[in-house]
Structure 1
Amino acid sequence: MGTPVLFVHGLWLHASSWDPWVRLFRDAGYEPQAPGWPGDSDTVEASRANPDAIGDHGIDDVVAHYAGIIERLPSAPILIGHSFGGMIAQKLLGQDRALAAIAIDAAQIKGVLPVPLSALKATLPVFKNPANRHRAVSLTPEQFRFAFANAVSEEESDQLFERWTIPAPGRPLFEAAAANFNPHSPAKVATDNQTRGPLLLIASGKDNTVPESVTRATLKQYRHSEAVTDIVTFADRSHSLTVDSGWREVAEACLTWLKEQSL
């Protein structure tokens, strides 16, 4: 049996968007799977048809959901998360539930201060209505292009939108926004854990939703831990880097890093 790998999606992308990664990692000898968040349906279409099931799930709900999945695995997994999935992966790694984690364009954790204007614009569809804290919110193709796919063609952006996007719960964004004012914030990560497995942070130079400055500020949060914490930047990529036509380059970088960690 290969090492288990759990892929954790973020807001607005369905778990099936990881399918090409799952195939690549299986071919590389791992035992990968990409389970959805609580409330997600099995397909993009079904998830779009039932947004009420998706709404009002917060960060702690999602962490507990994946922790339950991990408990049923034969051994501790490697976690690979994108966006809010990257935050979830970091929380679970800090709880010693994983061998290692890779956080790709991860949502900002508690302690990260810079909130660039582009990130505010990218999340405005949620924050413009306080009631969205308890709802699932969908993006328009134009909003998706700004938040995710600004580094690819408009045609590819529209194709990605149609293929992978689903409504997303607003609650995690409200929780992350208030993290630095809440001593018990669910966005808090055990960044000072000395015995956790290795962590790779991946940043995108053209990401509007999680700009590179946020990922570099996240790296600084780990300065009190001697556990391995690395960073790789893809200068010409945006938030869609896990699903757009350049996904394989990112996935291969993850495989290379895992090999370097003897994983």
Structure 2
Amino acid sequence: MEPLRPQSIVFITGAFVSNDCWQQWQAYFNQKGYTTIAPPWPHKDAPADVLRNRHPDTEIAANRLADLTDYYARIVEQLPEKPILIGHSIGGLMVQLLLQRDLGAAGIAIHSVPPQGIFTFKLSFLKSGWGALGFFTSTDESYLMPFEDWQYAFTNGMPLDQQKAAYDQFAIPESKLIVRDTITSAAHVDFSQPHAPLLLTSGSTDHTIPASLNYDNYLKYQHSGSITDYEEFEGRNHFVLGQPTWKEDADYILAWIDKTLPQSETVNTSMKISD
């Protein structure tokens, strides 16, 4: 008998944005019968404007990828079942890291930061990430993406009023160290190992994580007995979770879950007792 499809989803937020970015997604999946949570990163449990007013924030600046992955692992381990994991950007990387620990029934990595060893010299990728790395600046201070950089790295192609509204609602300070950690062993994935079903998605206009980088990530997975799928969406930038097309992406992900984790039929567990 196939296991029942999990009824819980853990949304894992990426860098630079508040976990409020999942509100529409949570409402969507809640309506489909799932129980969802979108835990904030440590030291980020506050509205975006409050966090911006705290900048520079030494506690946020101290966040590291290994600790953050452990933090989400502890959350997942407290649930009554292995959940479906859905993450964006660095959250997508953590989905892959948690699947390595066998902590998810399935994973969806949306415009994921790639694991260690996958890199590109594409100009948009280098331009989008340079400021956040914070070279020649103190790592004791958090990094807050200027609006002009936000326009290029997250909301390129959107009208100015939408770009500004998105920044005001979601942009928050970030740790420079956690961005640097994505190219270290803290981001290591053993692509030869079996894993729960994994879907990687990308966007054709994403400057921060170009679609080609997500495709390279997909090609790295080598275990023939594990499900690994890939889908590129036209016109999606790195603000994919809040673009007007977000529901089309959610519809695709839901259909992928339905196809990949079929719901078992009710099994009659009654037993006949012999005379």
TM-score normalised per structure 2: 0.88
Map 1:48-197 to 2 at 5 A. Answer: 48-50=52-54, 51-177=57-183, 179=184, 185-194=185-194, 196-197=195-196
The corresponding residue for 2:254 is 255
CA contact (8 A) 2:6 2:82 kept: no
Answer with 65-74 or 133-142: which moved more: 133-142
In structure 1, list runs of 5 or more residues that go unmatched: 180-184
1:203 CA displacement: 0.6
Distance 1:84 1:115 in 2: 19
Q: Please say if residues 91 and 190 of structure 1, whose CA atoms lie closer than 8 Å, have aligned partners that are also in contact.
A: no
Amino acid at match of 2:192: D
Deviations 1:142-177 (A, max 9, x none): 110100110322221111011111111111221224
When structure 1 is superposed on structure 2, of 45-54 and 242-251 the one drifting more is 45-54
Give 1:2 shift. 6.3
Q: Contact 1:205/1:233 (CA < 8 Å) preserved in 2?
A: yes
Instruction: Read off the aligned partner of 1:41 and give its amino acid letter.
Output: D
Q: Structure 1 residue 73: deviation in Å?
A: 0.7
Moved more, 17-26 or 119-128: 119-128
Pick the aligned partner of 2:8 from 4, 22, 32.
4
> Structure 1: which amino acid aligns with 2:214?
T
Structure 2 residue 30 is matched with structure 1 residue 26: yes
User: What is the distance in 2 between the residues matched to 1:56 and 1:44?
Assistant: 18
2-structure distance, mates of 1:205, 1:47: 31
- Aligned residue identity for 1:238: N
Separation in 2, partners of 1:173, 1:41 = 20
1:10-52, Cα deviation, whole Å (9 max, x unpaired): 1111001101101110100111010011121232233223332
Q: Contact 1:47–1:167 at 8 Å: present in 2 too?
A: yes
2:18 pairs with one of 14, 39, 46:
14
**2: CA distance, partners of 1:104 / 1:136:** 25
Q: Given residue 106 of structure 2, which amino acid in structure 1 is its aligned partner?
A: A
Task: Summarize deviations over 1:170-214 as a string: whole Å, max 9, x none.
Answer: 11221224x3xxxxx1010132222x2100000111111000111
Please give the alpha-carbon distance, in whole angstroms, between the structure 1 residues aligned to 2:96 and 2:187. Answer: 10
Distance of aligned partners of 1:116 and 1:226 in 2 relative to their CA distance in 1, 3 Å threshold: farther
Give the letter aligned to residue 175 of structure 2: P
- In structure 2, what is the equivalent of residue 182 of structure 1? none
- Please, which moves more after superposition, 240-249 or 206-215? 240-249
Contact kept in structure 1, 2:144 and 2:174, CA below 8 Å: yes
1:202-259 deviations in Å (ceiling 9; x for gaps) = 0111111000111011012102443000001112111011112221111111111101
How far 1:4 sits from its partner (Å)? Answer: 1.1
Larger radius of gyration: 2
Mapped partners of 1:257, 1:25: distance in 2: 13
